[in-house]
A and B are shown apart, each in its own frame.
Chain A
Amino acid sequence: MKEHPLQIKMNTNTKLKVSNLTKTRKSSDFFWAYLMIAPTMLGLFIFYLWPIFQTFYFSFTEWGAFGQFEWTGLDNYKRMLEDTNLLKSFKNTGIYIIFTVPIGIILSILIAVLLNQKIKGKSVYRTLYFLPVITMPAAIAMVWKWLYNSDYGLLNYILSLFGIKGPQWVSDPKIALYSIIVVAIWSGIGYNMVIFLSGLQGIPKSYYEAAEIDGAGPISVFFKITLPLLSPVIFFVSITSLIGAFQVFDLIFMMIGKSSTALESTQSVVYLFYQHAFVLNDKGYAAAIAVLLLVVILIITAIQMVLQKKWVHYD
């Protein structure tokens, strides 16, 4: 069949029109996309991305009293090697992490598993455990400091009923860090519990029914079904809690006074960063501490990523 010349013309015309249409649609797509991401990307760039490079640069400088600074090369990093305070702050932070992260995770899994049973009053329990999560750390620190008060605190009074003379919870250098750890665990349980609870609810009921038919006891159900199926959530929580614990500041700042005898044995890496950056006006060294913190966190996260292959089950 021979096509009419007019028809051919029309065909090419519409084709042209269509491709023009997709072209304008595409460029309008781009226009909208860039417009929509612009505010956030600009904000992130100015306040977050560029500062990473700036901090890195500052870590090679030394600051004067009036905000002027000069390039000093690796001096700050060399200084770190001899800074016993920094070493101690890493040790303190390490102890803090070793206790708060695992104990916090174990307790919140326990509570989540119990709340996942068929019992009455679930939502009341959930609310009570969640209370510390919504409370500002400054207020938490304040009330715990009062509970820990060695002369009039409730805690030492309760101990005295059993004939025990309670210690100086927040001013004894040997104990203060552990007192803070207790508060940290207390205030973090609710947050992780909620995440574990939603993870538990994602485990299909059929697994448990099958286990029941096989006659498995609650403990073997927990270790053979619940724990492996929850492992991706545990992995997630362990990463976020570890990163969070590495940056502990508020509780220490609030609970341990600036002139406390326990300051040396409690100050964390971030506390030391704050001191150098905003109290001592030693910003170059503070920047170096921040860079070191970044490197350590990246390394530990990377290690966790590698280790997860051994224990996290994705199905």
Chain B
Amino acid sequence: MEKTRQLVKSKTFLIHFVLIVGSVAMVMPFLWMILTSLKTYAESIHVPPVIFPKDLQWGNFIEVFGLLPFFKFMFNTFIITVVRTAGQLFLCSLAAYAFARIEFPGRNILFLLALSVLMVPGQVFLLPQYMIMVKLGWLNTLQAVIVPGMFSAFGTFLLRQFFMGLPKELEEAARLDGCNHFQIYWKVMLPLAKPGLIALGIFTTLWSWNELMWPMIVNSSPESMTLSVGLSSLQGQYLTNYPVLMAGSFLAILSMLVLFIILQKQFIEGIAVTGGK
């Protein structure tokens, strides 16, 4: 008995040991980012490294704002993320409801057509999408990033799975009350698909906030730049001043970090859902 208890104890210890080593590896780059962002340039290149800055150099953050219209980038990224996510949630759930709950001619073919988009790597769409933006005169506008991102085969597929799992009785009852399909979708089905909506919402938010290539292609003027692109341009012009670079990086990830800390459970469950379906 004593022996098994000891065995369990040493097993738990071993598990914690491995997990802690891993956690340190996960967190260390973030800590180093924050510590560096508060150092003077001299401290940052001192050998051996100065771990804790002598005086906290908040000026590095101010310098970032002086170098680039960082607030503008944040605002752009925020608008893009919110409109894309809201648009996708509405449009995908609308289509997903129809695909899951209404029988209509051509349903399977149309759904397969939508699914085929999932099989194709994103680069295949990029050139024609870019040319559409040129034709519309949308280069260097927020809608260039927003509009193509409002339609999602993945989101439609994900939400369809949710709608398919809901019981038929609810719908029948609503129909007897004289509801049309939009009313059933809006009043009955949408509230029940909440876990799916949260999952898709988080997935799209993360994706829009962090995306680099497409916003870089269509929006190169500071007026319409996103944080990711702004950060990549900061690197070009400010190659060696790491405290300022780290301050910029930290500012770029801060909002998502705060959102994650508040909505941890939803983030993690949401990602599990998008992966499990």
- A and B from one complex: yes
Partner of A136, one of B16, B99, B110, B253: B253
Please tell me if B22 contacts chain A, counting CB pairs below 8 Å: yes
Q: Which residues of B233-249 are within 8 A (CB) of A?
A: 235, 242, 245-246, 248-249
Question: Nearest chain-B residue to A29 (Cβ)?
Answer: B102
A113-132 Cβ-contact flags toward B at 8 Å (1 or 0):
01101010101011111111
Evaluate whether A47 and B148 lie within 8 angstroms (CB atoms) in the complex, with A151-B45, A194-B272 already known: yes
Question: Nearest chain-B residue to A43 (Cβ)?
Answer: B151
Whether B123 lies near A247 (C-beta < 8 A) is yes
Complex Cα distance, B22 from A277, in Å, reads 40
Partner of B129, one of A51, A147, A186, A189: A51
Whether A134 lies near B252 (C-beta < 8 A) is no
Complex Cα distance, B72 from A187, in Å, reads 28
Please tell me if A52 contacts chain B, counting CB pairs below 8 Å: yes
Complex Cα distance, B134 from A278, in Å, reads 13
Please tell me if B162 contacts chain A, counting CB pairs below 8 Å: no
Contacts of B27 in A (CB 8 A): 128, 131
Please tell me if A169 contacts chain B, counting CB pairs below 8 Å: no
Partner of B120, one of A52, A146, A191, A283: A52
Interface centre among A54, A135, A283, A294 (most CB of B within 10 A): A135
| One of A31-39, A70-78, A203-211 at the interface | A31-39
The number of inter-chain residue pairs (CB within 8 angstroms) is: 273
Evaluate whether A143 and B246 lie within 8 angstroms (CB atoms) in the complex, with A152-B44, A157-B47 already known: yes
Please tell me if B191 contacts chain A, counting CB pairs below 8 Å: no
B10-21 Cβ-contact flags toward A at 8 Å (1 or 0):
001001101100
Whether B231 lies near A139 (C-beta < 8 A) is yes
Whether A134 lies near B257 (C-beta < 8 A) is yes
Whether A136 lies near B256 (C-beta < 8 A) is yes
Evaluate whether A142 and B19 lie within 8 angstroms (CB atoms) in the complex, with A51-B128, A136-B210, A246-B121 already known: no
Shortest CB–CB separation between residue B15 and chain A, in angstroms? 5
Whether A250 lies near B212 (C-beta < 8 A) is yes
Please tell me if B4 contacts chain A, counting CB pairs below 8 Å: no
Please tell me if A138 contacts chain B, counting CB pairs below 8 Å: yes
Complex Cα distance, B248 from A291, in Å, reads 37
Question: Nearest chain-B residue to A269 (Cβ)?
Answer: B123
Evaluate whether A114 and B15 lie within 8 angstroms (CB atoms) in the complex, with A37-B98, A143-B32 already known: yes
Interface residues on A, range: 35 or more
Please tell me if B1 contacts chain A, counting CB pairs below 8 Å: no
Complex Cα distance, B22 from A43, in Å, reads 43
Please tell me if A254 contacts chain B, counting CB pairs below 8 Å: yes
Whether B276 lies near A36 (C-beta < 8 A) is no
Please tell me if A96 contacts chain B, counting CB pairs below 8 Å: no
Please tell me if A95 contacts chain B, counting CB pairs below 8 Å: no
Whether A143 lies near B181 (C-beta < 8 A) is no
Whether A197 lies near B272 (C-beta < 8 A) is yes
Please tell me if A49 contacts chain B, counting CB pairs below 8 Å: yes
Please tell me if A177 contacts chain B, counting CB pairs below 8 Å: no
Complex Cα distance, B131 from A67, in Å, reads 10
Complex Cα distance, B271 from A43, in Å, reads 25
Whether A194 lies near B124 (C-beta < 8 A) is no
Partner of B231, one of A52, A142, A236: A142
Shortest CB–CB separation between residue B129 and chain A, in angstroms? 6
Whether A40 lies near B253 (C-beta < 8 A) is no
Complex Cα distance, B190 from A194, in Å, reads 26
Contacts of B245 in A (CB 8 A): 142, 146
Whether B121 lies near A294 (C-beta < 8 A) is yes
Q: Which residues of B107-165 are within 8 A (CB) of A?
A: 107, 110, 113-114, 116-117, 119-130, 132, 134, 147-148, 150-153, 156
Please tell me if B65 contacts chain A, counting CB pairs below 8 Å: no
B31-44 Cβ-contact flags toward A at 8 Å (1 or 0):
01100100000001
Contacts of B18 in A (CB 8 A): 110, 114
Contacts of A46 in B (CB 8 A): 132
Whether B153 lies near A44 (C-beta < 8 A) is yes
Shortest CB–CB separation between residue B98 and chain A, in angstroms? 4
Please tell me if B66 contacts chain A, counting CB pairs below 8 Å: no
Whether B97 lies near A290 (C-beta < 8 A) is no
Please tell me if B167 contacts chain A, counting CB pairs below 8 Å: no
Question: Nearest chain-B residue to A47 (Cβ)?
Answer: B148
Please tell me if A253 contacts chain B, counting CB pairs below 8 Å: yes
Whether B125 lies near A47 (C-beta < 8 A) is yes
Which 3 A/B pairs are nearest by Cβ-Cβ distance? A43-B151, A51-B128, A195-B275
Q: List residues of A whose CB falls within 8 A of some B CB.
A: 28-30, 32-37, 39-41, 43-44, 46-52, 54-55, 58, 67, 110-111, 114-115, 117, 119, 121, 123, 125-140, 142-144, 146-147, 149, 151-152, 154, 157, 186, 189-192, 194-195, 197-199, 233, 236-237, 240, 243, 246-247, 249-250, 253-254, 270, 273-274, 277-278, 283, 286-287, 289-291, 293-294, 297-298, 301
Q: List residues of B whose CB falls within 8 A of some A CB.
A: 12, 15-16, 18-19, 22-23, 25-27, 29-30, 32-33, 36, 44-49, 91-92, 94-95, 97-99, 102-105, 107, 110, 113-114, 116-117, 119-130, 132, 134, 147-148, 150-153, 156, 180-182, 185, 206, 209-210, 212-213, 217, 227-229, 231-232, 235, 242, 245-246, 248-250, 252-253, 256-257, 260, 264, 267-268, 271-272, 275-276
5 intermolecular pairs with C-beta atoms under 8 Å apart: A36-B102, A44-B117, A47-B132, A249-B212, A250-B213
